[in-house]
Structure 1
Amino acid sequence: MDAIFGWIRNIVCFLCFINLFVQLLPNNSFQKYVKFFAGILLVIIVLGPLADVAGLKGKFEAAWRKENLKGDYNELEIDMHGMEELRSKKIMEVYEGELKKQIESIVKSHGLFLIDSEIIFKSEDGSYVPESISVTASYEKSGIRIEVAPFTENGGESAEVINIKNEIQEVYNIPGSNINISIQE
């Protein structure tokens, strides 16, 4: 009997609170939304004890918990996708840095100093491979950068450029036309 009086008391208190809240609203345009929301809550309050008797409360709680878990899982998937992109970006930065170190060692092995290198990648079968490489090297390690065309007898590329280009071509399987090497004096 006490449960029924408690139930009726909850309904009456809720109705009094909602009526007071509606009266305190400064603008009448929100009243229909507040009344709609209050009506949904009133239905839940009225049907609450009936759901307990019918055993539906546990089912509602389980369904609610399951939907919350699904929402959390979807958010995690979105977060993981973002993390995968971030991880992929970081891996590409490290990969590019390592390739630049290798190119610097190739240039140094030919008696030159690397000033700058740029690598453009292409996606091939889910992995990234170098598509083109541009290298700027110098005979001396200095901050002064004056670009001078290398002297060759036949008007083509110098022996250093040809050797560096051939080595890069062999190591990275890049066509010679995609390798640009400039030497600064």
Structure 2
Amino acid sequence: MDILTDWLTDVIVFILLAAVMDALLPSNSFQQYAKIAVGLLLLFVMLQPLWKIFSVDAEQELTKWADGVMTNEQASVITVDKQSSLENSRELFILKSSEQQMKELVQEEVEQAFQRKIVEVDIKVSSWENSFPESIEHIDVYVASLSAGETMKPVEEVAIQSQEQEEEGLENKIASFLSQKWNISEEQLNIHMVEEGDSLE
């Protein structure tokens, strides 16, 4: 808008000056040349906006445009990263809370029935829906023997496996027990017998 105002001002001022010059010049052949010169100058003044447009540094303007596009894309990437980070944090919290609750739900019964304790529960989720697990791929359960001070007397009503039972058979029994308690198929349960202090990786 400022450019248009300046341009109109220049044109009006030039026309006024041309009119004054035309009035002051004598009526002879020189006046004709003067009018031609004034006409050319007026044409130049009127075309000034076009000169400004064509004199724009195209490379500089392209660089500014590219910088603007990059800034917008970077802002979008940052927003997506933040959203993804929040979703991952929420999923991790839900997963860890579920693992802890599942462990606490059966810990005492596992100790009484099998003289074993659950060291860790690791849930592997195959897909998520709105930050909630939609389907579980499998659950790794790490089980260790009770120490001497932790050994508990078995409850009569609960089926107990003897200390001489093979480890594989014990794993199957624990898997069957947890399958009923957690309402999940045995095929999705992986029981790992570990020693206290072993790495669970």
Q: If the length of structure 1 is used for normalisation, what is the TM-score?
A: 0.47
